[in-house]
Amino acid sequence: MPTTEDPKPQPERSRAVFSNEDFELIRVAIRHYMQELRDRPSERNHLCDVQVEHDESRLNPAVLQEQSLAIEDLLETSRFELVGRNHGPYRLKLSTRGSRLSLHVANEENVLIVSHIMSFTPFKDIICEYVMICEAHLRASMTGDPYRIESIDMGRRAIHNTGSELLQQRLSSRIKTDLDTARRLFTVIVAPYTVSLFASDSGAPGQRGRFC
């Protein structure tokens, strides 16, 4: 009869033993590596704070939530680079007061670096189109027609992209962004103009803003 052989004992694996000195060296190496990452231009050129000032508009909770989500996304991941400078990360104060769009950019210590002020005139048509298609989307949502909602939503995304690309282009002489960052900034900029869509107690679109 075949006999069962006892398995050969496996040699014990040696375990690495780290001293407190070793752990301290590892911590120092990690700190140096993280600092190198922060010092790279591509890693530093992002937003670390975003504040928004609109005209006297009181944002509806739904609009405020959309704006807040856009700001959260900007803080999580963004590309925001001042042309010819490398002072990031940056704090952005964005204002839509009056007929101007103002971007005040400060460094991480909140020292103002530059202010960029643009006219809203080039954005007037695209904001009007965006508000109108948002209104159409809201009406379609009330009827519950999924095919119409999907169709309008595709158009809304296209207009949103057009507005974002225009913003990216208008900023390009002083500020470089990627499209995702421009999209989120555009969402924040148009927020006060979409307030009227939720102004009615019945949920139906209210009166349009000053551009439309």
For residues 62 and 153, the model is more confident at 153
pLDDT-based confidence at residue 9 (cuts at 50, 70, 90): low
Instruction: Identify the bridge partners of residue 177 per DSSP, sorted by sequence position.
Output: 80
Model confidence over 69-103: pLDDT tens digits?
Answer: 999 999 999 999 999 887 789 999 999 887 789 99
Average pLDDT over residues 116-140: 90
Sign of CA dihedral 120, 121, 122, 123: positive
For residues 203 and 49, the model is more confident at 49
Q: Is there a cis peptide before residue 89, judged by omega within 30 degrees of 0? A: yes
Confidence (pLDDT) at 38 = 53
Confidence (pLDDT) at 202 = 45
b or e along 40-74 (b: 16 or more beta carbons within 10 Å of the residue's beta carbon)? Answer: eeeebbbbbebebebeeeebbeebeebbeebbeeb
Whether the per-residue pLDDT at 127 is higher than 60: the answer is yes
Confidence (pLDDT) at 64 = 84
Whether the per-residue pLDDT at 28 is higher than 60: the answer is yes
Average pLDDT over residues 172-192: 93
